[in-house]
Amino acid sequence: MSDREIYVPPGGPPRIPGPSHDICPAMGQENIMLMLQDVYDRLGQSKIAYMFPKEPAELKHAAEKSGLFFIGLLGGPPLYHQQIGPPMLRARHLPFVIDEAGRQEWLRCFDEVLDTAVDKYAFPAEHLDQFRAFLHGFSTWMVNRAD
């Protein structure tokens, strides 16, 4: 990592409710993995594609790691913790310059996938708005460069 100045959002990590743990049991792990693959496919073609692996197999692997994290976050087993270790999301993202525009692009890609998530991945509709609110709130903590 370079000697760039790292921005820290004021107030530390957002104190927002996490997503419902009923989501994974309703969707199933396979659907969560498919959903994250679709998110990563969009990210790989987005304005922030330079932050993601270019090779399809490497992008798929990154999506799988993210899927493991989301399975645990959404009420499934802690597969990410078991297979990779503590998430340490902010630390893992520090090598990448993430500004507000990058955050908004990441959210746009995720939101596009969530637009079809109820039908395509059996995402429980009653939890969709709260999950979106979580993503929007928590993603502020990944921003490491002020505009």
DSSP 47: T
Mean pLDDT of 24-41: 98
Q: Angle, nearest 10°, between helix axes 100-114 and 29-43?
A: 130
Side-chain-facing half-sphere of 50: CA atoms under 13 Å:
7
CA 57, 132, 69, 51 torsion-angle sign: positive
Interatomic CA distance for residues 29 and 47, integer angstroms: 29
pTM confidence score? 0.94
Which tokens is 3 given?
């000697």
Q: Which amino acid is at 74?
A: L
Candidates 7, 8, 6, 19; CA nearest to 137 is 19
Average pLDDT, the chain: 96
For position 69, what pLDDT does the model report?
A: 98
Is the confidence at residue 4, as pLDDT, over 90? no
Integer Rg of the chain from CA: 15
Mean pLDDT of 99-107: 97
* Whole-Å CA distances, 77 to 35, 83, 116: 17, 11, 25
Beta-carbon count within 10 A of 60 CB: 15
pLDDT confidence bin for 147, thresholds 50/70/90: confident
Least confident of 12-16, 28-32, 85-89: 12-16
For position 84, what pLDDT does the model report?
A: 96
Quick: pLDDT tens for 106-118: 999 999 999 999 9
For position 2, what pLDDT does the model report?
A: 57
Q: Which domains does the chain have, with CATH numbers?
A: 23-142 (1.10.490.10)
